[in-house]
Amino acid sequence: MKYRSVLFTAFLVVAFAAVSASAAPLLNMMVMTDAPGDTPVNWAPSGTDNGDGSFTYGGSLVDPDGHWTLEWECTAKADPFLSASYTLVNTDVNTLTYTLLSTLPIAPAVTPASLMGGSVGGSVTDANFNGVGGAATAPGMPLYAGLMDGVSVLPIYPDPNAWNVTFQGETVNIPSVNAGLPGPVIPGPAVINDIGIQNQFTLTPGDRVALTAFFVVTPEPSSCVLMMLGVAALVGRRR
């Protein structure tokens, strides 16, 4: 009877997990600038089911304070990975520092250790055709940071880096950099609640930056082996 009870409980857990997995993860988005008195813009979009456990989110926004316009698309899966593509135009009259943040709740937690990988790349365009300006890393901050539970664990393009235009209408590439991919293969800590991608950069007035970023986390292999051995031992004792 005890053995049947364990099996029934396991069935309920798996069934609950399957139902939960069918719901779109509650992706959270934010854009913030260093303009005086600026208010960060936060939103939680609805996702479209891709049929493989991942969901796609997207849309366009105009900053109510007049500092930017944004087109964006994210694909996310709670087990977990997150990709984000942005096209942002500086509609202010000043060079501003922008922070773009995507945060994804995960399930289940990845413990006690993880493997991670990430990437970022894109371009900067002289969208106002004045032949000057561009984008650069914000002082002391990387262009890209992979986050676990709100803590930066994987930086790419550390400060200082800059991508400047030299003639009217020019587009300058931000070469794609992969860290720990394909894989992931970089050892990382446990992650309990969420992963995220933070992109931070300065951008000159009237110009446009396009970025594509990716972050993936998996359990460290020895952790998976230990978990399976623990489950086997528990079932053996119940018998």
Provide the residue ranges of all domains of the chain, joining segments of one domain with +.
Answer: 2-238
Tens digit of each residue's pLDDT (9 = 90 or more) over 112-125: 999 999 999 999 99
In angstroms, the CA 150 to CA 158 distance is: 18
Residue environment code for 155-179, b if the CB has 16+ CB neighbours within 10 A, otherwise e? bbbebeeebebeeeeeebebeeeeb
Give the whole-number percent of the chain exceeding pLDDT 70: 83
Cβ neighbours of residue 41 under 8 Å, at least 6 residues apart?
30, 31, 32, 61, 63, 64
Predicted local distance difference test score (pLDDT) of residue 50: 96
For residue 238, name the pLDDT band (cuts at 50, 70, 90).
low
Q: Provide the pLDDT confidence category of residue 6 given band limits of 50, 70 and 90.
A: very low
pLDDT at 26: 86
- pLDDT tens-digit readout, 158-186: 999 999 999 999 999 999 999 999 999 99
Mean pLDDT on 221-226: 56
Structure-block tokens of residue 233: 């031992």
* pLDDT band of 42, cuts 50, 70, 90: very high
Among the residue ranges 3-17, 181-195, 209-223, the one predicted with the least confidence is: 3-17
Mean of the pLDDT values across residues 72-85?
Answer: 96
Q: Could you report the per-residue pLDDT of 118-149, keeping only the tens digit for each?
A: 999 999 999 999 999 999 999 999 999 999 99
Average pLDDT score over residue span 57-80: 97
The CA distances from residue 61 to 42, 70, 75, 85, in Å, are: 11, 5, 18, 14
pLDDT value for 158: 98
pLDDT at 62: 98
Higher pLDDT, 18 or 79: 79
User: What is the mean predicted confidence (pLDDT) over 106-116?
Assistant: 96
* Model confidence band, residue 20 (pLDDT cutoffs 50, 70, 90): very low
3-state secondary structure the chain: CHHHHHHHHHHHHHHHHHHHHCCCCCCEEEEEECCCCCCCEEECCCCEECCCCCEEEEEEEECCCCCEEEEEEEEEECCCEEEEEEEEEECCCCCEEEEEEEEEECCCCEEEEEEEEEEEEEEEECCCCCCCCEEECCCCCCCEEEEECCEEEEEECCCCCEEECCCCCCEEEEEEEEECCCCCCEEEEEECCEEEEEEEEEECCCCEEEEEEEEEEEECHHHHHHHHHHHHHHHHHHC
pTM given for the model: 0.84
